[in-house]
Amino acid sequence: MEMEDIIYGILSRLPIKSLARFRCVCKLWLKYIDDPYLRTIHVKEEPQLIMFQPSPSHDKIKIRCGVQKEIVMELFYKGPRHENLLVGNACIGLTLVCYERDPCEARIYRFALINHVTKQRHDLPPLSIRFKRCDLDIDGPCDAAGIGFDDSTNTLKTVFVIVKNLYRNVACTMVHSSGTSSWRKLAQAPPYIIKGGGVFGHGRLHWLAYESEERTHVVWFDLKTEEFGLMDPPKPNGNGDFEELVGLNDTEVGFAYTGPVYIKLWMLKQDEEWVLHCCFDQLSLSLITPRYNNYYAEVLGFWNKDGDILLACDYHTGDQFFVYTPKSGHLREINQGDPCSVSDFRMCQSSLFSLHVSASLFH
């Protein structure tokens, strides 16, 4: 075996955090780590849980990683106190955060991409949108955001949707492509109200939208064509079920029905077909710990590469985490750090590809 093969074999087993540091050792190491061949043989890492913890004054956000809640970085947040931090999705190891929303008529939005492995942030160009006074939000924001990778152009795109609602007569979509210094305005807008962070998968961003109390849609935005479309969710569980789109990892789209008895999780396939991934009895959570009482467990995403599911029984405090293994039907509680107030969760999966993209952004 040649020495070069041995080096590639060693590097293929190292975690992304180590490779990120080793890129700075010398030009030879940088050459090996940036080699596309290493990208194809590198062992894909397990997904990581990212949490966003607001300060009591809501002017600072702590970004934590893993169920042990390791602090990755802090962000200063500027916006009305009644508004929660707008967190987009995770994609290729990066998480999108809107850390400034000015409530005046010339509203300023500031976005950052967070790399939890290298503990770096990349600020996007500020986005300024002027609203008429009658178009300002009265009952909180109704904006949607997300990031996705466009394979056709090899660019990371950030999508921000200003949604028309009862208080706004405007509706448009703003797109930022990596490597550019401005946003592009598209005339297209989704046919129904969407809000919050999107879920990336199959080259599209996805949001949940309600046509009425009885009818739900999945709105998607194609990163290549930059057009919106609609698809139906999987068949519902029954009346009273809580519905949510779930970013299972950076590239898989899930749809969860959470009811008082059962939780069903579906996965989206390439041809817009929903396939049932698992179904389990939510009441079994109360048998594990007596603290679980009258809570709906939230599906957070894949816990590992085997497809086990991570759940939180109290979404806002992250007080208890559980892992469900579909193959065996086993449900267990996992260790955690100190409880803290959490405003949002995301599952983020790093890869050597994400390290290369990050390197181009954070240079």
How far is Cα 263 from Cα 229, in angstroms, rounded to an integer? 27
Give the list of residues 6+ apart from residue 354 with CB closer than 8 angstroms, or none: 16, 92, 93, 94, 115, 250
Mean pLDDT comparison of 4-18, 115-129, 152-166, 215-229, highest-scoring range: 215-229
Three-state secondary structure readout of the chain: CCHHHHHHHHHCCCCHHHHHHHCCCCHHHHHHHCCHHHHHHCCCCCCEEEEEEECCCCCEEEEEECCCCEEEEEEECECCCCCCCEEEEEECCEEEEEEEECCCCEEEEEEEEEECCCCEEEECCCEEEECCHHHCCCCCCCEEEEEEEECCCCEEEEEEEECCCCCCCCCEEEEEECCCCCCEEECCCCCCCCCEECEEECCEEEEEEECCCCCEEEEEEECCCCCEEEECCCCCCCCCCEEEEEECCCCCEEEEEECCCEEEEEEECCCCCEEEEEEEEHHHHHHHCCCCCCCCCEEEEECCCCCCEEEECCCCCCCCEEEEECCCCEEEECCCCCCCCCCEEEEECCCHHHHHHHHHHCC
Residue 245 pLDDT > 60, yes or no? Answer: yes
Encode pLDDT of 169-179 as tens digits. Answer: 557 899 999 98
- Residue that has been written with the tokens 């807008």 in this structure: 189
Beta pairing, strands 143-150 & 196-197:
parallel
Mean pLDDT of the region 92-111: 79
Is residue 75 scored above 90 in pLDDT? no
pLDDT of 316-359, one tens digit each?
Answer: 555 678 888 888 888 888 866 666 677 788 888 877 777 777 66
CATH of 44-361 among 2.120.10.80, 3.40.30.10, 1.20.120.790, 2.160.10.10: 2.120.10.80
Q: Which amino acid is at 333?
A: E
Q: Which amino acid is at 47?
A: P
Residues 6+ apart with CB under 8 A from 282: 258, 259, 260, 261, 262, 263, 296, 297
pLDDT digits (tens, 9 = 90+) for 91-100: 888 999 988 8
Intervals of CATH 2.120.10.80 along the chain: 44-361
With tokens 């996007």, the residue in question is 124
Q: Is 348 exposed, middle or buried (0-12, 13-18, 19+ CB in 10 A)?
A: buried
**How far is Cα 290 from Cα 28, in angstroms, rounded to an integer?**
56
User: Is the predicted pLDDT of residue 254 greater than 90, yes or no?
Assistant: yes
Distance CA 163, CA 169 (A): 9
Tokens representing 153 are: 């152009």
CA distances (Å), origin 80, targets 1, 77, 294: 62, 10, 31
Rounded Cα gap, residues 21 and 210, in angstroms: 45
Give pTM, 2 decimals: 0.85
Average the pLDDT over 72-88 and give the result: 75
Most confident segment among 67-76, 95-104, 195-204? 195-204
